[in-house]
Amino acid sequence: MKGTFPVEKFREIQTPFYYYDTNLLRNTLNEVNREAGKYENFHVHYAVKANANDKVLNIIREAGLGADCVSGGEINAAIKAGFSTDKIVYAGVGKSDWEINLGLDNNIFCFNVESVPELQVINELAAAKNKIASVAFRINPNVGAHTHANITTGLAENKFGISMEDMDKVIDMAQNMPNVRFIGLHFHIGSQILDMGDFVALCNRINELQDKLAKRHIIVDHINVGGGLGIDYQHPNRQSIPDFASYFECYNKHLKRHSKQTIHFELGRSIVGQCGSLITKVLYVKQGTFKQFAIVDAGMTDLIRPALYQAYHKIENITSEMACETYDIVGPICESSDVFAKAIDLNKVQRNDLIAIRSAGAYGEIMASGYNCRTLPKGFISEELL
Ligand code: LLP
């Protein structure tokens, strides 16, 4: 089955562009709230890095989620969209002074600190403002995730977080610093994780670390388990809303919680991934020596995931019902890696057909670039095109 798209409206818009189905987005958010709401003190933050389109952000803010930011730009985008600053968490291995100051000025909920030198700088900058910064330590749990190597973050070899061995030392340091308040631990093992066993492994590791801390009579108020829940790229229509029930249940079951402890989640892809498609127009159908190419007007500058991670996105010809033929779908960029898919079957393609590249709501529009002096793609939400 193809997705349902307002094709006539699409004909009036300059391609390529992103299209966001806000019914699906709202239903997804309702499901997140319903499933997380079953458990006391589960707080969900939206990972702004997945998609910072202002219309999308507004809808997510309306649903009451917090914001997980990794830069000053994201903090500004979240504030502009109306996220309350006491629900903003701020992670990242390389926070600049102006970004830390922005967080301090806005009294954000928590800095997720990734190194000792960063902790020292936050303490100094907070002192200069006579403030106390709330900090959590991002601990690298050395837990692998069964996902693409480029999006695995929780292994000792990755640049992220503070090693488990250093955890006690940095907590001691923080407790002796006048301008930081140590409030929690933060983790994130990777993205596009579909095997709940990976999250169970994270829970087990967090339990171990908490037991270790409890021996020192330290019980943190907040545990942030990051994000990472994956989506079904193969079948965007089959399970368009990810299995949030199993996800939250998994944490409720496997994470040992101390009384009143709050559990935070930072979900990006699972919230916005399926609601977005990249809509592109066919420029030419070219017969190669061994294959035929459908050359479209979107390129890796608009959606880099296939080129960067060999990611699969389902592709549909939304303006043809003719018998299927086999095509390589390629863009106009001067790079051999500017290929969206190889040897896929599509309803016969002709010049000016519209193609939907599905499941592109997360890490699509936001990762677009201006390489080849291209214009950044615009994003439209479905309710604008009624
Ligand atoms: N929290 C932290 C600390 C993160 O680094 C990330 C994603 C998230 C939360 C959100 O993860 P999600 O729920 O979206 O899996 N560009 C890549 C994905 C990079 C993910 C980076 N970190 C892609 O297109 O697959």
pLDDT tens for each residue of 186-213: 999 999 999 999 999 999 999 999 999 9
Q: Are the C-beta atoms of 348 and 320 separated by less than 8 Å?
A: yes
Ligand 1 binding pocket includes 364 (Cβ within 6 Å): no
188 alpha carbon to ligand 1 midpoint, in Å? 9
Q: Is residue 109's pLDDT more than 90?
A: yes
How many whole angstroms from 268 Cα to the centroid of ligand 1? 7
pLDDT, tens digit, for every residue of 236-284?
A: 999 999 999 999 999 999 999 988 899 999 999 999 999 999 999 999 9
C-beta of 47 in contact with ligand 1 (< 6 A)? yes
Q: Is the pLDDT of residue 157 over 70?
A: no
Residues 40-63 pLDDT 10s: 999 999 999 999 999 999 999 999
Residue 9 host element (H or E): helix 7-10
Distance 177 CA to ligand 1 centre (A): 31
Q: Looking at domain 23-271, does it have CATH number 3.40.50.2300?
A: no
Sign of CA dihedral 187, 189, 193, 198: negative
Cα dihedral 234/238/242/245 (nearest 10): -140
C-alpha torsion sign, points 320, 313, 18, 60: positive
Residue located via tokens 């562009």: 17
Check pocket membership of 305 for ligand 1, CB cut-off 6 A: yes
What are the sequence ranges of the domains in the chain? Answer: 7-17+274-385, 23-271
User: Residue 4: what pLDDT?
Assistant: 84
The protein residue whose alpha carbon is closest to atom 19 in ligand 1 is: 151
pLDDT for residue 156? 64
136 token code pair: 């959590």
Which candidate, 7, 141, 4, 57, places its Cα nearest to that of 366?
Answer: 57
Is 188 near ligand 1, meaning CB less than 6 Å away?
yes
Do 283 and 296 form a contact (C-beta atoms < 8 A)? yes
- Residue 36's pLDDT is what? 98
Whether residue 151 has its Cβ less than 6 Å from ligand 1 = yes
Q: What is the Cα Rg of the chain in Å?
A: 22
Same fold, 7-17+274-385 and 23-271: no
The second-level CATH assignment, the architecture, of 7-17+274-385 is Beta Barrel (2.40)
Expressed in angstroms and rounded, the spacing between residue 12 Cα and the centre of ligand 1 is: 34
pTM over 0.85: yes
User: Dihedrals φ, ψ of 255, to 5°?
Assistant: -90, 120
Could you tell me if 341 and 349 are in contact, meaning their C-beta atoms sit under 8 angstroms apart? Answer: no
